[in-house]
């Protein structure tokens, strides 16, 4: 790897999906000895939950799955964040399309679905479990875990 790679994950509120992607990827990078070479962060498209911690239901599930999550403060996306990162991974096609239409063409190339490098989940949305309950939280946790593993494989190629 030549330079430090900067990755940003985005979901609607930055309290479930994007921080889960963020912290699971950080943990995997640490396991692979890649911390410091790849910087990971996450943000929200909307200001609904700015300043809040990870949803307690996801926090509890992650702990139960042996993947405790650190303290977190949801933050809102700012356009300069896109300039500073190499990849902005978003959780849905709706967010992808909205962002790609609102930024310069050169910057839009950095925006990809979080599932872009995942053979089993390629081009799929990572659904929002906020209003759906426990079983759906587990489904999303497992999907994110698999997506992160696939992303690590891709990043190691760089």
Low-confidence stretches of the chain (pLDDT beneath 70): 1-2
The pLDDT of residue 133: 81
C-alpha 30/C-alpha 23 separation (Å) is 11
Going by the DSSP 8-state scheme, the letter that residue 35 receives in this structure is B
> Across the beta sheet with 111-113, what order do the strands follow?
38-44, 5-11, 87-90, 111-113
* Cα 17 to Cα 32: distance, rounded to the nearest angstrom: 22
Question: Which are the contacts of 135, defined by CB distance < 8 A and separation ≥ 6?
Answer: none
Number of H helices, E strands in the chain: 6, 4
Map out the domains of the chain with their CATH numbers: 5-157 (3.40.50.2300)
Torsion on CA atoms 129, 74, 30, 138, rounded to nearest 10: -10
d(CA 88, CA 139): 23
pLDDT recorded at residue 134: 77
* Whole-prediction pTM: 0.96
9 burial (CB, 10 Å; 0-12 / 13-18 / 19+) is buried
For 79-101, b where at least 16 C-beta lie within 10 A, e where not — what string?
A: eebbeebebbbbbbeebbeebbe
The DSSP call for residue 73 is: -
pLDDT of residue 2: 57
pLDDT at res. 40: 98
pLDDT of 1 reads 41
């Amino acid at each position: 790897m030549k330079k430090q790679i900067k990755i940003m994950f985005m979901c609607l509120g930055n309290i479930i999906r994007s921080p889960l992607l963020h912290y699971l990827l950080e943990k995997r990078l640490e396991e692979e000895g890649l911390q410091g070479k790849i910087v990971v962060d996450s943000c929200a498209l909307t200001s609904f939950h700015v300043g809040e911690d990870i949803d307690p239901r996801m926090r509890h599930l992650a702990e139960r799955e042996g993947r405790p999550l650190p303290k977190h403060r949801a933050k809102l996306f700012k356009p300069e964040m896109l300039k500073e990162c190499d990849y902005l991974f978003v959780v849905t096609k709706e967010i992808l399309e909205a962002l790609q239409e609102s930024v310069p063409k050169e910057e839009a190339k950095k925006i990809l679905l979080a599932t872009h490098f995942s053979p089993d989940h390629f081009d799929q949305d990572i659904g929002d479990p906020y209003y759906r309950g426990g079983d759906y939280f587990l489904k999303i946790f497992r999907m994110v875990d698999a997506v992160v593993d696939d992303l690590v494989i891709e990043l190691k190629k760089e």
